[in-house]
Amino acid sequence: MRNTRVVGLVLLLSIALVFHILGTIKLSNDLNDLPSLLSLYNHPIFNQLLEWRKRIENSETMLPFNDQQVTASVQCSMKFVVFSKSWFSSTSSGSENSHHEQLLNTLKSILKLRNFRIFIPCITVVVDSTMNEKKNSKLDLETILQKQLNLNQQELKVSNSLQELNNNEFESWKQSQQPFSTLIYLVEEGYEFCERSLYHLMNIAKEAAMKKKKRNVYRASTGIVNGLIFNDKIMNEFLNKLIMEASTKKNPTSRFVLTELLVLDFLKKKDLYMHRWQLMTKEEIPKQNVNVHQPQCYETLIDPTSLFSFDVDRCKHSKFSPCERNDDDLLVENELNSKNKFIDTEFVHDTAQEVIFPATSKLSLSQLQQAESVLAELGSSCDQACVKKGMKCNREYFPYINRCDEFKQYHHLRCECLREEEATSRAPYLNQERCMIALRRSAFRCDSRPKDKAERRLCPCSPKETS
Query: Does one domain contain both 98 and 222?
Result: yes
Query: Hey, is 191 helix, strand or coil?
Result: strand
pLDDT in tens, 312-352: 878 877 889 998 654 444 444 444 444 444 333 344 434 44
Name the domain boundary from 264, 292, 321: 321
Residue 401: closest CA among 438, 356, 455, 357: 438
Q: Low-confidence residues of the chain, pLDDT below 50?
A: 25-33, 37-38, 40-43, 45, 56-73, 132-133, 135, 179, 252-253, 286-291, 326-359, 467
Residue closest to 238 by CA, chosen among 173, 193, 306, 307: 173
CA distance 305 to 313: 18
Q: Are residues 377 and 279 in the same domain?
A: no
CA distance 425 to 46: 35
Q: Which amino acid is at 400?
A: Y
In whole angstroms, give the CA distance from residue 357 to residue 334: 25
Domain for residue 327, yes or no?
A: no
Amino acid, res. 290: V
Single out the residue of 272, 301, 288, 270 nearest to residue 422, CA to CA: 301
How many residues in the chain?
467
Do 412 and 301 share a structural domain?
Answer: no
- Do residues 264 and 188 share a domain? yes
Residue 22 domain-assigned? no
**Domain assignment of residue 345, yes or no:** no
**340 occurs within a structural domain:** no
Share of the chain above pLDDT 70, in %: 63
Q: At 247, which CATH number?
A: 3.90.550
Q: How many domains does the structure of the chain reveal?
A: 2
Domain containing 442 equals 365-463
For residues 316 and 400, membership in a common domain is answered with no
Residues 106 and 228 in one domain: yes
Q: Would you state the pLDDT for residue 97?
A: 65
Q: Is residue 122 in some structural domain?
A: yes
Question: Is residue 433 located within the same domain as residue 307?
Answer: no
Give the whole-angstrom CA distance, residue 95 versus residue 59.
Answer: 46
Neighbouring residues of 409: CB distance < 8 A, sequence distance ≥ 6: none
pLDDT at 309: 87
Last residue of a domain, one of 321, 352, 376: 321
| Domain identity same for 369 and 311 | no
Residue 27 located in a structural domain? no
Helix (H, G, I), strand (E, B) or coil at 62: coil
Q: Are residues 379 and 433 in the same domain?
A: yes
Task: Tell whether 90 is covered by a domain.
Answer: yes
| 314 shares its domain with 381 | no
Q: Are residue 269 and residue 404 in the same domain, yes or no?
A: no
- 317 lies in the same domain as 376: no
